[in-house]
Amino acid sequence: MFYLIGIDGTDSPSVNGGEDTASLGIRLGLLLQERRFGRMLAVTRHQLLRRDALPFTAENQACCLLMEADADARRDIELTSREFILRQSAPASDPGFALAAWSNLSATVDTWGQQAKYLRLQRDAAMQLARAHDISVAGFQGNGNGVIGALAAVGLRSSGNDGQFAWLPGLESLKGTLTLPALLNFCAIDRVENLRGRTPFDRDLIHLGEAPVVLLRGGQSLLLLHSCAGEDVNQWRVYSPVELAEVAP
């Protein structure tokens, strides 16, 4: 079965306050795999509300791990995750954790995730929502409000239409210039296309740069492309993060 592990608030308010939450999430997933509790399928990062009046860490980004594991591994996954997050989070952080079986989720959890991008939510409401869906949650330090973002990460991931992939098998190998077959050989991205849905031909060249951004859209991984300068129909390039914020917010 599939499990979602939401994590939030593991770094400190300082930009130089330590490891970002998505990087910590990747390390957790690799640890769970190493201990043979499950298989990490993906890690996504999700932007939550940013306001001066709202306490948040460096970027206020939560992350979510997608794991495939047997039902009897849930307790081991939970205990390992709790211990890891508590030990690895920055000293001044307010980390939160959520573990959900995907089959237990509903549109209500997805809505919570969307609200966390625009509204200031309350910890008590997060705890009630978690209990109603058999979601394990915990806040380890500070005021415990990290559970709000952790639960939001689960909802945003299950909605399938928010955030970016911090980790996919082979994603770190995507750089430079590749053809579509070579790209898919490195990393099995679901969709590689432009805004109109056109996919490159096998002979076309795709300029990836050093760290292409892969989006979560329609429940799939999506690498958005556009034509290179000069409108060469046989050459493509990825959007920069700034460009993506405009064309695929």
pLDDT tens for 11-58 read 765 544 457 899 999 999 999 999 999 999 999 999 998 755 455 555
- Residue ranges, CATH 3.30.70.2200, the chain: 2-165
Quote the pTM value.
0.92
Q: Which residue in this structure is represented by tokens 């000069």?
A: 230
Fold of 2-165: Alpha-Beta Plaits (3.30.70)
> Which residues lie closer than 8 Å to 81 by C-beta, 6 or more apart?
5, 28, 32, 97, 99
- Per-residue pLDDT tens for 79-105? 999 999 999 988 878 899 999 999 999
- Per-residue pLDDT tens for 58-72? 568 999 999 999 999
CA distances from 38 to 33, 75, 134 (A): 5, 12, 20
pLDDT at 15: 44
- Per-residue pLDDT tens for 143-183? 788 999 999 999 999 999 999 999 999 999 999 999 999 99
pLDDT at 229: 65
